[in-house]
Amino acid sequence: MPSKGTPSAEELEGESTMLPMGKYFASSDKAVRDKAVEGLKQFLVARGDDLLDDKELTKLWKGLFFCFWHSDKPLVQQALATDLAELLLKIPSAPASLHFLKGFWDMILREWTKIDVHRIDKFYMLIRRFVNAAFRLQLRENWDDDCCEAYEYILTRPNGPLDPDDPKHITSLAYHLADVYLEELEKALDSSESTCPVPILDVIHPFLAFAARTPVKASVPRLQDAIFQPLTSALAQAASEEPPTKRARLATGTPSPAFSTTIARSTLDHSRHYKSKASTSTTALDSAPSEPQEIRKAILKAILDIGGQPETREHNRKKLFAFWKAATAEGQSDQTEWDAS
């Protein structure tokens, strides 16, 4: 006989067509929670393009929040975080996957202040898993414009995790997102069989927009340290490497430069936000990877351009211009050394 609170076979029989009950996700019994998550996977796959309404989505993620809340052992937490994030890739429809992802971020923003210090790290891990899965979803869709635009909207919409105009904005979420963003992009590219080039300017655009308008003065230096500086430095290193040095590095087993896969796969040929007169590509799929030095120049130009926009806050403008000036001078110095060698 099933223990108290354990779903019976009859209750679970129709899980592929009915949304699993929230009480099973919130159960203190791991076996019950595991069955509920498996039932949810079958349910979401069976629905295909049919989106949950907002009320159903809120109830679902409320249950999943407590499902993850009750996972106490590190290995259990890691496995559950992976299973929940993988649901994005199990759903066959990109719009349905993105709708599910929106529900995740709505839940995180809604419940964030209730998470105590003892549980915060595991929720940071859960966010990292979903950032990675979101990149793999865009890879699966070959960086389709509609998919990328919808993902950007999820992050930057009013009351979203990267909404700079929200007076109640949770800066710790924006900072954590920035901290893991490039790392998880690199991991997603390394694990994917897709060879579609990455529209890198579009990928980092949410942070450029956030850096321009955020009222928190500490945010721009934080984003520079997490996104702009590591990426432009890695691009400068990649641009200055001689092929023999690279072969020697591979032969001796020396680690590759930071974000090497991201750099090798990035393109300027196609972008929704930054149009190039030289580009003839209509999609990321028919684009070609760009040279690291050209990518670096384009990123710095984007920083300069967004710093000069009228809606950019003055204290952010000064920091963005200062970063552009220092990075440009650094790039010119590197180029001089390269030409002299």
* Cβ burial 224-258 (10 Å sphere, 16+ → b, else e): bebbbeebbbbbbbbbbeeeeeeeeeeeeeeeebb
pTM attached to this predicted model: 0.88
Please give the residue that has the higher pLDDT: either 303 or 30: 303
Average pLDDT (122-142) is 97
Q: State how far Cα 91 lies from the chain centre.
A: 18
The pLDDT tens digits of the residues spanning 102-122 come to 999 999 999 999 999 999 999
Residue 282: both structure tokens together: 């209509």
Is the pLDDT confidence value at 161 over 80?
yes
Is the pLDDT confidence value at 305 over 60?
yes
Is the pLDDT confidence value at 32 over 70?
yes
Residue 15: both structure tokens together: 């899980």
Looking at residue 331, what is its pLDDT?
67
Looking at residue 7, what is its pLDDT?
46
- 4 HSE (CA, 13 A, CB side): 0
The pLDDT tens digits of the residues spanning 228-287 come to 999 999 999 999 865 444 444 445 454 556 899 999 999 998 888 887 666 666 777 778
**Can you give the C-alpha Rg of the chain in angstroms?**
22
Looking at residue 282, what is its pLDDT?
72
- Which has the minimum average pLDDT: 23-27, 86-90, 111-115, 176-180? 23-27
Average pLDDT (202-216) is 96
The pLDDT tens digits of the residues spanning 2-25 come to 444 444 444 444 444 566 566 788
Looking at residue 253, what is its pLDDT?
52
